[in-house]
A and B are shown apart, each in its own frame.
Chain A
Amino acid sequence: MTKPSFESMEGLEQIDDAPEYSKDFWDLVFEQLGKRALFKVGMVLLALMYAVAIYAPFLANDRPYRFEGVDIGGYNGALRQLVSIPSVMTGKVRMSDEEFRKELEVAGTLGDAKKTPQTRGDSLAAEAETVHDRVSLMLGYLPEDAVQLRETLSALPKAIDEAVAAFQAGNAEKATEILRDVKKDARALRDTAKPLDRKEPGAGGVDLVARMERPLWDDIPPLDVFFMVLWLWVLAWPIWNPLFNRLLGRNRERIRHWRMRKTGMVLGTSALAALVWFGVFGAGGKQDANAPYKADLQNGNRIAIQAGSRLSDTGNEFQVTWAPINYGVAESHLAEQFRPPTWLSQAESTEGSWVPGAADKSKKAAEASPGAQDAPKELAGDKKGDEFQATYKEVEIRESEPGIDDWDRHIAGTDETGRDFFTRMIWGARTSLTVGILSAVLLTLIGIFFGALAGYFGGWVDVLIMRLIEVLQSIPAFYLILLTVVFIPPDTIKPIFAIVIVIALIRWTGTARLVRGEFMRLREAEFVVAARALGFSDLRTMFRHVLPNAMSPVLVSAAFAVAAGILTESAISFLGFGIRPPEASWGSLVNESKSPDNWWIQVFPGVLIFITVTCYNLVGDAFRDAMDPKMKE
C-alpha cells in the first residue's frame, strides 16, 4: 500500500503530454471509489444524515425564524421588577455580611460562585445589571414620542448604578436613600407606563411599538455556525469542485497542489463565519430549552403585529414564520402521552382528548355489531365511558401546531411526556453522530501515537505498549466502556463527552496495532533511512515521512470505528447509563419505553442507527477495497 513512485524522474518529464502517468495514490483510490455505486449511495445518505443533524435547529424548533410584535408579558414583568428589585437591593444594603452568608447557606448556593454572587457588592451589581436589562427591554417597545416616559425610565438604571457605587464607597445611608427614590419613581411608572389593552383601547395606556426579533437565529452558537457553513461547502462539493478543477486546467499536478488550499479555504471560511457570528450574535443561547413563543401567543402575553406599527393600529397582524416542525426538543404535551404516529387510525383522538387504546376499542365495537353505526358514540356516552374519559385531559393545540387528528401532528408519535418524537430523533442525531465522529477521531489519534512509538522505536517501548494492549484487549471493550462510564458522575463530565473519552481510551488498541505493523514494515524502507540520513529528528521522520504512508489502513479502521462508536453509545444509552433525558440520543430514545405496546419508540430510532451504521460499513468496505493493491487487477 505504498504510494506509486510518481515522483521518479521519468514520471515528471512526461506530465505534460501524458497526464495519466501522474496519477498518485489518492487519485487511484478516488478513481476506484468513483466506480462503486454503493459507496456513493452511502456517502450521500451520510451527508444528508449529517445535514439533518447540523441544521436541526432550522428543521425542528419551537422558536420562530422571525417574529414581529410586542412582548406584553415581558414588558409587564419588567415593570413589576423595577419596583421589586430596589426593595431587594435595599434589603441587601441593610443586611450584615453574616446575614447574607446565612441566606446563601439556606438557599444552598454558598460557595457556588458560578450561580450566585458570593459578596453583597457583587450581588448588588448583578441586580443592577438586571435593571439595565429590563429597562432596555421596555425602551425597545416604548414609542419615540413618549419623551417624558423614556427619560424617566432611562434615569432609573443610572440612579441604581449610583446607589451601587455609593454602597461600594461605604456609604450605605446614601445608597438606601437613592434606592428609596428609585422605588418611588418605579411605582409611579406602574400607572403611567402601563401598556395599552388592545381589546379596550379607550382605557388608556402606552401605545407600544412592535419590534422585530429572530429568536431562532439568536440562539445558535458559533460552533454550530461553523459546521453549518462547512456542511454547505460539503453538500455543494459536487458542484463547485468540478468547476474549480476546470479553472485549474484539469492539470493533475495543479489540482493536487490545490488540495490542501481547498481544504484550508473551506475550513477557513467556516471558521470566519463562526467568528463573525460570534461578533454579531454572541455565544448563543441554550437551544434545547423551551422557548416561550408558542405559549405566549396563545395566552396573549405576546402580540404578533408588524414591526414599527403600534398596538392601537388595526389590520397589521404579522404572520409568524415557524420552523417546518414546530416543536421544541424538550417541549411536552402532557395530555398526549405515548401517542402513536398520528397518520395511523390507532392514534385517533376521542372528543379532543388522547385516550390510549380508545380508537382500537371503538373499532372493535363497530366490528362486533355491524350495522350499528352509532356504536362508538354510545360507547363514549355511557356512564362507564364518562368515567374512563374523566382521567384524560383535553389536548392543547398550541399556536400554529397541526390539528389534533392531522396526519402530521406527530409523525413519529410522542414519548412519555408527550414530546414530539420526530423532533427528538432529529436532535438526537446530533448526539449520536457527534459521539461516533469524535470518538473515532480521538481513538485514531491515540492509536497512531502509541502505534508509531511502538513500531518506530521497537525494543522495550514496543514490549511495554504491546503488554498494555494485550491487557486492554482481554476485557471485552463494550463491557469495559460501560463499566467506566457508569463510574463517571454526570455532573463532573457531560455524559456525551465521558462516552467519547472512554471509548477512545479503550478502543485505540486496534488502530495502534495496525500502525505499529505499518511502521515496522516501513522503518527500514529506503525513504525512511534517507530521511534519517538527512539528519531529520525522530518526530519529523515518524510523522512527516512514515505516517502518510501508513495512513490507508488507519482510515479504513477509522470508518468502522465511527460505526462502532455510534453502536456503543446507543447500547450504553439504551441500558440507561449514557445520555439522559431531556437530552436525546438515538439509543436513549429507545430506552424511553420498555413496553412493546409503544412500538414507535423502539422502531424508529433503531432504523436510524441501522442506516447510519450500514452507510459507514459500506464506506469503510469501499475504502478498504479501493486501497487494497490486490484489487486493482
Chain B
Amino acid sequence: MIPTTFGVALVVFALFHAAPGDPATVMMGGGGTGELDQGSDTEGRVDRFRRKHGLDRSLVVQFFDYMGPFNLSRDGVTWLSSPYTERKVLEEPGPDGKPLRLGLPQPIDYLPGTPETLKDQLDEARRTLTNPERGETAWADARRTILAAGEQGLPALFQSLYDQRDRANLDDSGVPRLLDAVAEASGKTWQPDLDGPTRLRQAFAWYYEEGGGYRVQNTGEKPWGGLLAGDLGSEMQNDAVRIGPELWRRIKVSLPLSLISVILAYVLALPLGIFSARNHGKKRDGLITILLFVLFAIPTFWAGLMLVQLFGITKLDWLPVVGLHDKDYDTMGWWARQWDLLLHCILPIATMTYGSLAYLSRQMRAGMMEVIRQDYIRTARAKGLSEDVVIYKHALRNSMIPVITLLASILPVLIGGSIIVEKVFEIPGMGRYAFEGLSNRDFNVLMATTILVGVMTQVGILLSDITYTIVDPRIRHD
C-alpha cells in the first residue's frame, strides 16, 4: 500500500510538471482568469511565487522536498541544510488532540546575549541599508555600525537578506550593499559576475556552514516536514490554511455521504439483481433491465441538475437543494437538526447512488444467472429444496464474487463523482475542496486530495479482498 501511494504521488507529481506550460504561471494565473493582467510587475510576482514555493528547483529536489522529512537545500549547497533558514519544529495541538509536528522556516534571530540597545541600533542600521533613499554617507555609517558589532551584527544583515530573498529583482533594495557588508565581515569575496540569487545563496551557505552554523538558535532537531511525516503543507495562495486539518474537516462531510451511498447501492442492488435473475425472461425482468440500462447512461451532473429542477423551488419545491443545512440550523433543536440534515442529504445521495446501483445490479443479475446454470444448483433443486433455499443458501454466495470485486472500483468512482455532486448541491466536502483546488490551480491541495483518494482506493481493494475470504472461504490471502 505504501509503495503504491508513493507511486501515486510520483505519477501525480510527474503529471503536473510534465504538463506543458510554466507551473508558476498556471498556478498564479488561476487558469487564465485574468488575474495576471492586473497590476504591474507581473513577471516579478510570478518569480516571487515560484521561489517561495521552490518551483525553480530541480524536479527531483521538489519531489523529495514534498515527500519526506528532508530539508533539501537550494542548488550549490549541501543536501540536508537549508541555505536560507533553519526549520524550526513547532508542536501544535492537532484537531484530534494529538500534537502536530510542523517544520516551519524561521527568521534569523539575534544571538543570545545581544543587548536590547544594540539590537535596536542594528535594526535601525539594516533598515538604513535597505532604504534606497538614504544616500551614501548614511549607508556607510550603518555599515560601520553593523561591522563594529562583529558576530552579533551578522544576524541583522542576514535577517534583511532573508526578508529580501523573494524579491524578483535582487539588485535593488540594498541587496548588493548587504552582500558587500557580508563579504567584508566574512573576508570572502564572491565572483562579481554571479547573478543576484546565486550570490545570495552563497552568502547564506557561508553563514550557516563556515561562519554561522553554531550562531543560529537551532532547536538541534532534524528538519521536519513532508508527506511521510504527515505534513501536507499549506494552501499555495493562502499560507495560513494548513491542508491537513482543512482536509479532515471536509472528509467528515464527504465520507458519511459516500459510505451511505455505497451501502445503499449494495443493499438495493443485490435484491434487485436476484429478483431479476429469478424472473429471467419475464416481463418484470425486461422492465428492470431496461430501467437500469437507462439509469446507467445518465451523466451524473445531469441527473443532479434534473433532481434540482424537479424537487427544487422551480417545480415541486419538496426538498432543499443547496448545502447540507438550512440557514437557521443553529437555532434548531436536536431532532429538527437531524430531520434537516436528512432532507438535505436525500438528493445528493440519490445522485451518487443511482449509477453504481444500476451497474451493481446488472452485475449481480449476470452473476446469479451464471451460477444458476451450474450443476450443483440443479442438484440442489433435484434434492427437492425450496427455491428460496437454493437461491439464498446455495447460489447467493458464489454469485456475489463479481459484485464484491466491484467494491474496489466503486469506492473511487464515488469519490471522483463527489466532485460533481458536491458542485451541483454546493456541499462543502472533499470533492468541493478538490474543485476549489482545481479552480485555483493549487498544487498542494490537489496533491493532498489525490493522494487521499489513492489511499481510499487501496482501502477499497483491501476491503474487497477481506470480503472475498468471508464469502468464499476457499480464497486465502497469505
The chain A residues found within 8 Å of chain B, CB to CB, are 467, 470-480, 482-484, 486-493, 563, 567, 570-571, 574-577, 587, 590, 596-597, 599, 602-603, 606, 609-610, 613-614, 617-618
Cα–Cα distance between A472 and B435 once the two chains are bound (Å)? 21
The dominant DSSP class at the A interface is helix
Give the residue of B312, B313, B435 whose beta carbon is less than 8 angstroms from that of A575: B435
Chain B residues positioned under 8 Å from A482 (CB to CB): 419, 438
Chain B residues positioned under 8 Å from A493 (CB to CB): 20
A574 pairs with B301, CB closer than 8 A: yes
Cα–Cα distance between A529 and B416 once the two chains are bound (Å)? 45
A476 pairs with B297, CB closer than 8 A: no
Chain A residues positioned under 8 Å from B19 (CB to CB): 484, 487-488
| Residue B446, interface by CB 8 Å | yes
Cα–Cα distance between A37 and B475 once the two chains are bound (Å)? 42
| Residue B26, interface by CB 8 Å | yes
Cα–Cα distance between A487 and B29 once the two chains are bound (Å)? 11
| Residue B450, interface by CB 8 Å | yes
Given contacts A590-B302, A602-B306, A610-B297, contact A596 B312 (CB under 8 A): yes
B453 pairs with A476, CB closer than 8 A: yes
| Residue B64, interface by CB 8 Å | no
Given contacts A610-B299, A613-B299, contact A489 B20 (CB under 8 A): yes
| Residue B291, interface by CB 8 Å | no
Chain B residues positioned under 8 Å from A491 (CB to CB): 32
Given contacts A478-B416, A479-B415, contact A599 B314 (CB under 8 A): yes
B438 pairs with A490, CB closer than 8 A: no
The dominant DSSP class at the B interface is helix
Q: How far is the CB of A190 from chain B (nearest CB, A)?
A: 41
Chain B residues positioned under 8 Å from A486 (CB to CB): 31, 438, 441
Chain B residues positioned under 8 Å from A488 (CB to CB): 19-21
Cα–Cα distance between A617 and B31 once the two chains are bound (Å)? 35
Given contacts A609-B302, A614-B297, contact A487 B441 (CB under 8 A): yes
Q: How far is the CB of B428 from chain A (nearest CB, A)?
A: 16
Chain A residues positioned under 8 Å from B293 (CB to CB): 614, 617-618
B450 pairs with A483, CB closer than 8 A: yes
Cα–Cα distance between A490 and B16 once the two chains are bound (Å)? 15
B15 pairs with A479, CB closer than 8 A: no
A602 pairs with B305, CB closer than 8 A: yes
Q: How far is the CB of B315 from chain A (nearest CB, A)?
A: 9
Within 8 A of A (CB), among B256-314: 293-294, 296-302, 305-306, 308-309, 312-314
25 contacts between A and B (CB under 8 A): A471-B4, A473-B457, A474-B457, A475-B8, A475-B12, A476-B413, A476-B415, A478-B416, A482-B419, A482-B438, A483-B446, A486-B441, A488-B21, A489-B25, A492-B20, A492-B21, A571-B300, A575-B301, A575-B420, A575-B423, A575-B438, A596-B308, A602-B302, A610-B302, A617-B296
Chain A residues positioned under 8 Å from B12 (CB to CB): 475, 480, 483
| Residue B153, interface by CB 8 Å | no
Give the residue of A476, A478, A571, A597 whose beta carbon is less than 8 angstroms from that of B457: A476
Given contacts A471-B11, A474-B8, A475-B8, contact A599 B299 (CB under 8 A): no
In the complex, the 7 A-B pairs of residues with the closest C-beta atoms, listed nearest first: A606-B302, A476-B412, A476-B416, A471-B7, A487-B19, A614-B297, A489-B21
The chain B residues found within 8 Å of chain A, CB to CB, are 4, 7-8, 10-12, 15-16, 19-21, 23, 25-26, 31-32, 293-294, 296-302, 305-306, 308-309, 312-314, 321, 412-413, 415-417, 419-420, 423, 434-435, 438-439, 441, 446, 450, 453-454, 457-458, 461
Cα–Cα distance between A576 and B423 once the two chains are bound (Å)? 11
Shortest Cβ distance from B446 into A: residue: A483
Chain A residues positioned under 8 Å from B314 (CB to CB): 596-597, 599
A603 pairs with B454, CB closer than 8 A: no
Q: How far is the CB of B303 from chain A (nearest CB, A)?
A: 8
A474-B457, A597-B314 known; 5 new pairs, CB 8 Å cut-off, are A471-B10, A479-B412, A483-B450, A486-B438, A617-B296
Chain B residues positioned under 8 Å from A467 (CB to CB): 7
Q: How far is the CB of B418 from chain A (nearest CB, A)?
A: 10
Cα–Cα distance between A471 and B10 once the two chains are bound (Å)? 10
Shortest Cβ distance from B300 into A: residue: A571
Given contacts A471-B8, A489-B26, A602-B305, contact A483 B438 (CB under 8 A): yes
Q: How far is the CB of A61 from chain B (nearest CB, A)?
A: 28
Cα–Cα distance between A476 and B293 once the two chains are bound (Å)? 23
Cα–Cα distance between A483 and B453 once the two chains are bound (Å)? 13
Given contacts A489-B32, A606-B305, A610-B302, contact A475 B450 (CB under 8 A): yes
Cα–Cα distance between A609 and B23 once the two chains are bound (Å)? 34
Q: How far is the CB of A70 from chain B (nearest CB, A)?
A: 42
Cα–Cα distance between A488 and B458 once the two chains are bound (Å)? 28
Cα–Cα distance between A575 and B296 once the two chains are bound (Å)? 20
B15 pairs with A484, CB closer than 8 A: yes
Shortest Cβ distance from A489 into B: residue: B21
Cα–Cα distance between A473 and B297 once the two chains are bound (Å)? 22
Chain B residues positioned under 8 Å from A603 (CB to CB): 306, 309
Q: How far is the CB of A415 from chain B (nearest CB, A)?
A: 15
Chain A residues positioned under 8 Å from B308 (CB to CB): 596
Chain A residues positioned under 8 Å from B11 (CB to CB): 471-472, 475
Chain B residues positioned under 8 Å from A471 (CB to CB): 4, 7-8, 10-11
Given contacts A480-B15, A603-B309, A617-B293, contact A575 B419 (CB under 8 A): yes
Q: How far is the CB of A81 from chain B (nearest CB, A)?
A: 32
B438 pairs with A563, CB closer than 8 A: no
Shortest Cβ distance from B312 into A: residue: A596
Shortest Cβ distance from A467 into B: residue: B7
Shortest Cβ distance from A492 into B: residue: B20
Shortest Cβ distance from B20 into A: residue: A492
Cα–Cα distance between A610 and B297 once the two chains are bound (Å)? 6
Cα–Cα distance between A489 and B33 once the two chains are bound (Å)? 11
Shortest Cβ distance from A477 into B: residue: B416
Shortest Cβ distance from A591 into B: residue: B301
Chain A residues positioned under 8 Å from B413 (CB to CB): 476, 478
Q: How far is the CB of A590 from chain B (nearest CB, A)?
A: 7
B412 pairs with A606, CB closer than 8 A: no
Q: How far is the CB of B10 from chain A (nearest CB, A)?
A: 8
Q: How far is the CB of A254 from chain B (nearest CB, A)?
A: 39
Given contacts A475-B450, A567-B299, contact A602 B15 (CB under 8 A): no
Chain A residues positioned under 8 Å from B420 (CB to CB): 571, 574-575
Q: How far is the CB of A600 from chain B (nearest CB, A)?
A: 11
Of the listed residues A484, A486, A618, the one surrounded by the most CB atoms of chain B closer than 10 A to its CB is A486
Cα–Cα distance between A492 and B412 once the two chains are bound (Å)? 31
Chain A residues positioned under 8 Å from B298 (CB to CB): 606, 610
Give the residue of A479, A563, A570, A613 whose beta carbon is less than 8 angstroms from that of B453: A479
A596 pairs with B313, CB closer than 8 A: yes
Cα–Cα distance between A490 and B33 once the two chains are bound (Å)? 12
Chain B residues positioned under 8 Å from A479 (CB to CB): 412, 415-416, 419, 434, 450, 453
Of the listed residues A476, A483, A575, the one surrounded by the most CB atoms of chain B closer than 10 A to its CB is A476
Shortest Cβ distance from A563 into B: residue: B297
Chain B residues positioned under 8 Å from A570 (CB to CB): 299, 301
Shortest Cβ distance from B413 into A: residue: A476
Q: How far is the CB of A505 from chain B (nearest CB, A)?
A: 9
B309 pairs with A475, CB closer than 8 A: no
B26 pairs with A487, CB closer than 8 A: yes
Given contacts A475-B11, A475-B412, A575-B419, contact A609 B299 (CB under 8 A): yes
Cα–Cα distance between A472 and B420 once the two chains are bound (Å)? 21
Q: How far is the CB of B96 from chain A (nearest CB, A)?
A: 26
Of the listed residues A473, A479, A609, A614, the one surrounded by the most CB atoms of chain B closer than 10 A to its CB is A479
Cα–Cα distance between A484 and B454 once the two chains are bound (Å)? 15
Chain B residues positioned under 8 Å from A475 (CB to CB): 8, 11-12, 412, 450, 453-454, 457
Chain B residues positioned under 8 Å from A571 (CB to CB): 299-301, 420
Given contacts A474-B457, A483-B15, contact A617 B297 (CB under 8 A): yes
Give the residue of A474, A480, A596, A610 whose beta carbon is less than 8 angstroms from that of B458: A474
Q: How far is the CB of B289 from chain A (nearest CB, A)?
A: 10
Chain A residues positioned under 8 Å from B321 (CB to CB): 596
Cα–Cα distance between A482 and B434 once the two chains are bound (Å)? 10
